Chain A
Amino acid sequence: MSAPTTVIQFPERWLHRYAVLVVFCTLGLIGLGGLVTSKGVGMAVPDWPTTYGYNMFFFPVHLWQGGVFHEHVHRLVASGIGFLSIGLAVWTQLVERRTWLKKLAWAALLLVVVQGVLGGKRVVLNDVPVLGIPGSVFFGVLHAATAQVFFCLIGTIALVTSPWWRRGASMPVIRGAAAIPGLTALILVQLLVAASMRHQHAGLAIPDFPLAHGHLYPPTNPEFIAALNQRRVEVLAFAPITAFQIHLQMLHRLLALIIVVGVWIHGYKSLGWGTVAARWGMAWSGLLLLQFTLGAATIWTDKAADLATAHVVGGALSLLTGVLFSLVLQRAKVKGIEDNSCPQPRRFLNPLPVATGADVASWRPSR
């Protein structure tokens, strides 16, 4: 039975749509996880994998109170993502011909299992030091970072299963785009710094922005830190502010500046790279502007939980956009990434929209 190779088959289109669904659900899950940390309720359910001794799927609803509600819903939705990932791996295995993509889908499933275990360890080993770091911080940061990597994996699967990618219209090698993967890596570093700040549960180490404690770079001597903690009227059970947290917050601000400027420069450059690249460049620049604003708003609202969480979600989207933008731009260089099921990409037929002349032209900007 040989289907025409130029037609993208029905199950493959649905695989793409399904992958996009998993991307959105994962973003929601990152938001829920971020909310758990923003609210400081990670330990509201002290046990794992059980929930107050119950099988988590049978935990009585009347006990879903306060922080327990957030933590429990996070665990339930996470299980849902686990099931969705099984579906994604199996489906990809069945309908996909690209071996590397099948492997990627299974890798995503493996990662989400690891991620679940990391989430559990963050709770169970809350107090056990790992490499001299409290388990709550070590596993919390690792859990947050793995979430981002998983999100990017699923996003990549969604991209490369898209008809647009399958069509195989390859990008010309664009000069000046080499920094984009670097900026993306910097965003990942930034998310690690951010997670390290958040998982110390110390609230805002620096309450003002753009200045920091009224300085360009705040003092961090012991007397200053002691006075800071003494004057602070914390409503939530925060850990004391340390000098390390102030340095970390300053690093976060510095990285933010470098990333925003870098992304905007490349967003501007992308305008000359054809329609598709320009769209990605603009979307990325817009996201970074939003993300920067959310970061500032988080400080100005004394870390309101909803804004801090939106900032986490914005970070995930900024990272994913960078990863996908890099993939799109690098496609021309990467061998073997093409969908072999479409050997004649541009003679692609219905039922998907045919690449128009304008579309094709947009890949090749006039020099």
Chain B
Amino acid sequence: MKTFLAFGVAVGAAAALHADVTGKVSLKGTPPPEKEIAPLKADANCGKLVSGAPMTRHYVVGADAGLGNVFVYVKNPPADAKGKAPAVPAVMDQKGCLYEPYVIGAAVGNPVEIRSSDPVLHNVNFQKSIAATPNPTFNQAMGPGAKPIVKTFANQEVFVKLMCNVHPWMFGYIGVVDSPFYAVTDKDGKFSIAGLPDGKYTLVFKHLKAGEVTADVEVKGGSATAAATLEAK
């Protein structure tokens, strides 16, 4: 089902200042054009919150074919990584009647904060009816000015899909993995995973549309680089 094509791995062993695994994910092929989210614009409450035409975010492609919103994680993290807190807290916002960012990562057992910056009613709905999930589901309302909802996920799941039924065009994703070693690529396809101890690992690159590829990487002296290519068919 996956369209995995080329993937290349470059292992850099330089003793860098940043003890990070860094790299870039590229997209091969031409993705289908994104669509305007017309019902958002047409909504009495949400339409006022956005300027211009809100667009779908299935393929975010930046400079040099860099692919954004790819969830990158270590498939075989060190044994003691389980339950460890990630470097950055997981925060999902609801802004302009969209989930922002579209994709975030989270570590098993660690808090995920779901905020709303909107002066409208949302319901944050994580449901099983879409696909089987190992995690308990929930559906909670967030009115204007509501305090953030804090959730923890007990099981690895890539991806948890959040949706809002008040605004059926609202959906966003959380990649939940059993270690703090994950990242989401930025709009240019770049990512960085901090604090991974030296060793040999397999990285998984998963995109909601373009599928999944893996790459082996060896962290030496605290750093490494990796690259992957996903394909839009």
Contact = CB atoms under 8 A, between A and B. Distances in A.
Interface stretch (B36-44, B106-114, B216-224): B36-44
B139 A67 contact: no
Nearest to B162: A237
A67 B166 contact: yes
Nearest to A40: B168
Interface in B203-233: 209-211, 232-233
Interface string A106-130: 0000000000000000000011010
Contact of A68 (B35, B121, B125): B121
A52 B164 CA distance: 15
A101 to B, nearest CB: 40
Query: Which of B1, B39, B45, B58 has the most CB atoms of chain A within a 10 A radius of its CB?
Result: B1
Given A44-B123, A237-B170, A227 B129 contact: no
Nearest to B126: A127
Interface residues of B, number: 46
Contact of B123 (A39, A43, A230, A234): A43
Nearest to A225: B1
Contact of B165 (A67, A231, A235, A239): A67
A230 B211 CA distance: 8
A42 B32 contact: no
Nearest to B172: A237
B15 to A, nearest CB: 41
B233 A227 contact: yes
Contacts of B167: 66-67
Interface string A216-260: 000000110111011111111101100000000000000000000
A222 B211 CA distance: 14
Nearest to A226: B1
B27 interface: no
Contacts of A240: 130-131
Given A46-B123, A233-B32, A235-B37, A126 B141 contact: no
Interface in A52-76: 52, 63, 65-68, 71
Contact of B56 (A127, A137, A230, A235): A235
B87 to A, nearest CB: 30
B3 interface: yes
Contact of A126 (B43, B44, B129, B171): B129
B166 A46 contact: no
B161 interface: yes
B169 A136 contact: no
A135 B139 CA distance: 15
A233 B165 contact: no
Contact of A237 (B33, B139, B169): B169
A43 B139 contact: yes
B129 A136 contact: yes
30 contacts: A40-B168, A43-B123, A43-B125, A43-B139, A44-B165, A44-B166, A46-B123, A63-B143, A65-B44, A65-B45, A65-B121, A66-B43, A66-B120, A67-B165, A67-B166, A126-B127, A126-B139, A127-B129, A127-B137, A136-B127, A225-B1, A226-B211, A233-B34, A235-B39, A235-B56, A236-B168, A237-B163, A237-B164, A237-B169, A239-B131
Interface of A: 39-44, 46, 52, 63, 65-68, 71, 126-127, 129, 134-137, 201, 222-223, 225-227, 229-237, 239-240
Interface of B: 1-3, 32-39, 43-46, 56, 58, 120-121, 123, 125, 127-131, 137, 139-141, 143, 161, 163-171, 209-211, 232-233
Please list the 6 inter-chain residue pairs (A to B) with the smallest Cβ-Cβ separation, ordered nearest first.
A226-B1, A237-B171, A134-B129, A44-B165, A136-B129, A46-B139
